[in-house]
Structure 1
Amino acid sequence: MLTERRRYTPRLMVRPKSSQAVRRRSPITSGWMQLSFDVPVMPFRYERGMHLEDAGMWLDPHTRRPVAYVSHGHSDHCRPHGHAFVTAETADFYRLRTGRSALTVMNIGETLTRGLQEVDVFPAGHVLGSSQVRVRDLATGHRLVYTGDFKLRPSLTSPSAPVLECETLVMECTYGAPRFTFPPTEQVVTELIAWVGSVIASGNIPVVCGYALGKAQEAMAILHQAGHLVAIHPSIEPYAEIYTRHGVDLGQYVVMSPDPGSLSGSEGRVIVCPPQHARSIREAMPRTRMMILTGWAIDGGAPGRLPMGTALPLSDHAGFDDLVEYVQRARPKIVYTVHGNGGFAQHLRRQGIEAHHLGA
């Protein structure tokens, strides 16, 4: 995930007064810079994660917190919190990564009441078990949506995110620049399958690279539907087992030997592995050809991460057009963005929408 590098930790406080003020600590002095808003907001504090004051809960905090909602199972979101609220699928990933069992499972469609706020859980479309939440203030009816990492496009391994109407929208915008308008998923899948076929026809071994959780399982499902046999890197196996346990059809696959010099288990198959293991596989198996699946392929720089590789823009994040669509359909009065570099918030302001970037 792309995060903005800063020399200080941003801290923002949003308070619901008649003349709304966001107070942000200056990186130069200990005073507060005042930003005036003309729209009502729900009180929250942002400090490497969102803190809903009335609910007494953090949303995706980057550091350990007493009570936290964790939107999905990637390592940058799974911290060993005192108590975590997660979906059933994310619970399995969370336990695998942290060893923690102090969890409350929030099923999709359920409502959790904390203090004077109700929290509803919806799919996010990012990876299996990923979720977004809508928080409703019981006193005012104000609704805040926190998307977490999300995607509107279809997927074989996780349900797409619905757009949730709200007054305050807090959304991730990893791909917040207009150039990150991805081609249709069907087109990318067609190109992937054609590439695999051409590599096999040339007598070589195709290696499809994607993150061990999420992208790897999507690749496995795509290859299975196309009739290809798959061999996976050992680091993918525990996540694939959780997908299968929750009913996702990844097809029959074998797990490669941990020894990169061994071809055992991969003969006649398409290899799926995380990008960090591509070089060792390439060095041990010269007849391999590499493909990485990443949204950064739009920039043309992704192949440089692989030995003799190429790339396709298959992402588990929302592209620029998805971000725009979400805002248009959610109809928020104010938008806060996280991740990315703040460019999407600037784009929204140019469209006349109150928007501010919170940082990483």
Structure 2
Amino acid sequence: MLTERRRYTPRLMVRPKSSQAVRRRSPITSGWMQLSFDVPVMPFRYERGMHLEDAGMWLDPHTRRPVAYVSHGHSDHCRPHGHAFVTAETADFYRLRTGRSALTVMNIGETLTRGLQEVDVFPAGHVLGSSQVRVRDLATGHRLVYTGDFKLRPSLTSPSAPVLECETLVMECTYGAPRFTFPPTEQVVTELIAWVGSVIASGNIPVVCGYALGKAQEAMAILHQAGHLVAIHPSIEPYAEIYTRHGVDLGQYVVMSPDPGSLSGSDGRVIVCPPQHARSIREAMPRTRMMILTGWAIDGGAPGRLPMGTALPLSDHAGFDDLVEYVQRARPKIVYTVHGNGGFAQHLRRQGIEAHHLGA
């Protein structure tokens, strides 16, 4: 059962390292705080991905690299690297997407030593198998955390992400603007189930749209828990099989044939499909009603991506409040942001935290 955690609202404190400390007003602490921009960082190079030179490893590079850590199984993170370090679940997605088997499985809680650095793996809460890493320099004790794509909100299909204390924090900020503060998960789930029920009661077929890996399986689990029968688009099947293989309960489901019109709506099933296939289903089955699950629903523009659709803000990324909470609890001396734009780094600087945006 989905339960929303209680929000953590600590006071952020940054200790000065030298006489160069400055005083700056911080809305987070509602007072003055001392901070310093004279902070050490773990050497790394950023070039469409992070390269940890001392470890001889890239973190989520966008192009093929000799040795890479892959945080999760989405296509924009899976490249056919010479050798990949992945969790067991991500290994299955990685093989499926790239056809490559040159990899090392890093189990959650295990420590990998690379050169003069130790790498620990933790859940990221994004999709099944998603992970974040904390890299510790054996000589200095300096800790760098790379979150990858993550979220702190509860999920039926992936473990929640812990917040990792560190000196250097490299974090995603896809939803780094204050307007992307998502409602509680339970509220969104309740609205989704109510919408499905109303569509079925009106004699129509509900179609819930989400990415083939991650969002689709979360929707399947939610619908199953609510007692609904589910039919999935064929493109979702290989990912759903991996979820089931790793013990995630998606319930009983049927796979639609390549001809969408062959599925009757008389059995009360809910269709789950990726957004790019919504139009073909709509054209083949006029009695469908569309719902897309996306964090961009906060902007109100998401329904325009679907024929006669609506949207709910169910996201597998951290919302703005999650991003702020992670920084508050991790207590880094310096923050680097990736994905999104530079807005979240600017927000952190206004709070007196040294932060820089690295790019996509």
TM-score by length of 2: 0.90
The answer to whether the 8 Å contact 2:128/2:243 transfers is yes
The 1:4/1:140 distance shift into structure 2, 3 A limit, reads farther
User: What is the rounded CA distance, in whole Å, between the counterparts of 2:323 and 2:316 in structure 1?
Assistant: 13
**Residue 359 (1) aligns with residue 359 (2):** yes
Secondary structure in 2 aligned to 1:347? Answer: helix
The answer to whether the 8 Å contact 1:107/1:121 transfers is yes
The 1:24/1:245 distance shift into structure 2, 3 A limit, reads farther
Cα distance, 1:261 vs structure 2:
2.7
Structure 2 equivalent of residue 20 of structure 1: 20
Secondary structure in 1 aligned to 2:283? Answer: helix
The answer to whether the 8 Å contact 1:292/1:303 transfers is yes
Q: Note the residue ranges of structure 1 that are not aligned, 5 or more in a row.
A: none
Secondary structure in 1 aligned to 2:95? Answer: helix
Cα distance, 1:171 vs structure 2:
0.0
The 1:352/1:33 distance shift into structure 2, 3 A limit, reads closer
Cα distance, 1:347 vs structure 2:
0.1
The 1:320/1:99 distance shift into structure 2, 3 A limit, reads same
- Which stretch shows the higher mean deviation, 318-327 or 266-275? 266-275
User: What is the rounded CA distance, in whole Å, between the counterparts of 2:265 and 2:303 in structure 1?
Assistant: 26
Structure 1 equivalent of residue 205 of structure 2: 205
User: What is the rounded CA distance, in whole Å, between the counterparts of 1:154 and 1:7 in structure 2?
Assistant: 12
Structure 2 equivalent of residue 274 of structure 1: 274
The answer to whether the 8 Å contact 1:144/1:167 transfers is yes
RMSD of aligned alpha carbons: 8.3
The answer to whether the 8 Å contact 2:291/2:310 transfers is yes
The 1:68/1:28 distance shift into structure 2, 3 A limit, reads farther
The 1:142/1:2 distance shift into structure 2, 3 A limit, reads farther
The 1:12/1:298 distance shift into structure 2, 3 A limit, reads closer
Cα distance, 1:17 vs structure 2:
14
The 1:13/1:279 distance shift into structure 2, 3 A limit, reads farther
Structure 2 equivalent of residue 42 of structure 1: 42
Q: Deviations over 1:1-52 (max 9, x none)?
A: 9999999999999999999999999999999999995101000000000000
Secondary structure in 1 aligned to 2:81? Answer: coil
User: What is the rounded CA distance, in whole Å, between the counterparts of 1:173 and 1:152 in structure 2?
Assistant: 13
The 1:29/1:243 distance shift into structure 2, 3 A limit, reads closer
Q: Deviations over 1:114-169 (max 9, x none)?
A: 00000000000000000000000000000000000000000000001000000000
The answer to whether the 8 Å contact 2:171/2:336 transfers is yes
The 1:10/1:98 distance shift into structure 2, 3 A limit, reads farther
Structure 1 equivalent of residue 78 of structure 2: 78
Q: Deviations over 1:309-332 (max 9, x none)?
A: 000000000000000000000000
The 1:159/1:9 distance shift into structure 2, 3 A limit, reads closer
Structure 1 equivalent of residue 194 of structure 2: 194
The 1:241/1:260 distance shift into structure 2, 3 A limit, reads same
User: What is the rounded CA distance, in whole Å, between the counterparts of 2:25 and 2:323 in structure 1?
Assistant: 28
The answer to whether the 8 Å contact 1:224/1:250 transfers is yes
The 1:29/1:329 distance shift into structure 2, 3 A limit, reads closer
User: What is the rounded CA distance, in whole Å, between the counterparts of 1:4 and 1:64 in structure 2?
Assistant: 39
User: What is the rounded CA distance, in whole Å, between the counterparts of 1:74 and 1:32 in structure 2?
Assistant: 42
The answer to whether the 8 Å contact 1:13/1:46 transfers is no
User: What is the rounded CA distance, in whole Å, between the counterparts of 1:94 and 1:228 in structure 2?
Assistant: 31
Name the count of aligned residue pairs: 360
Q: Note the residue ranges of structure 2 that are not aligned, 5 or more in a row.
A: none
Cα distance, 1:262 vs structure 2:
1.8
The 1:188/1:63 distance shift into structure 2, 3 A limit, reads same
The answer to whether the 8 Å contact 2:72/2:129 transfers is yes
User: What is the rounded CA distance, in whole Å, between the counterparts of 1:52 and 1:274 in structure 2?
Assistant: 35
Q: Deviations over 1:268-314 (max 9, x none)?
A: 20000000000000000000000000000000000000000000000
User: What is the rounded CA distance, in whole Å, between the counterparts of 1:62 and 1:8 in structure 2?
Assistant: 34
Query: Percentage identity across aligned positions?
Result: 100
The 1:112/1:194 distance shift into structure 2, 3 A limit, reads same
- Which stretch shows the higher mean deviation, 323-332 or 24-33? 24-33
Secondary structure in 2 aligned to 1:20? Answer: coil
User: What is the rounded CA distance, in whole Å, between the counterparts of 2:45 and 2:15 in structure 1?
Assistant: 9
The answer to whether the 8 Å contact 2:35/2:352 transfers is no
Cα distance, 1:230 vs structure 2:
0.2
User: What is the rounded CA distance, in whole Å, between the counterparts of 2:145 and 2:93 in structure 1?
Assistant: 24
The answer to whether the 8 Å contact 2:25/2:352 transfers is no
The answer to whether the 8 Å contact 2:26/2:352 transfers is no
The answer to whether the 8 Å contact 2:336/2:356 transfers is yes
The answer to whether the 8 Å contact 1:134/1:146 transfers is yes
TM-score by length of 1: 0.90
Structure 2 equivalent of residue 141 of structure 1: 141
The answer to whether the 8 Å contact 1:275/1:292 transfers is yes
Secondary structure in 1 aligned to 2:14? Answer: strand
The 1:204/1:276 distance shift into structure 2, 3 A limit, reads same
User: What is the rounded CA distance, in whole Å, between the counterparts of 2:312 and 2:106 in structure 1?
Assistant: 34
Q: Deviations over 1:208-234 (max 9, x none)?
A: 000000000000000000000000000
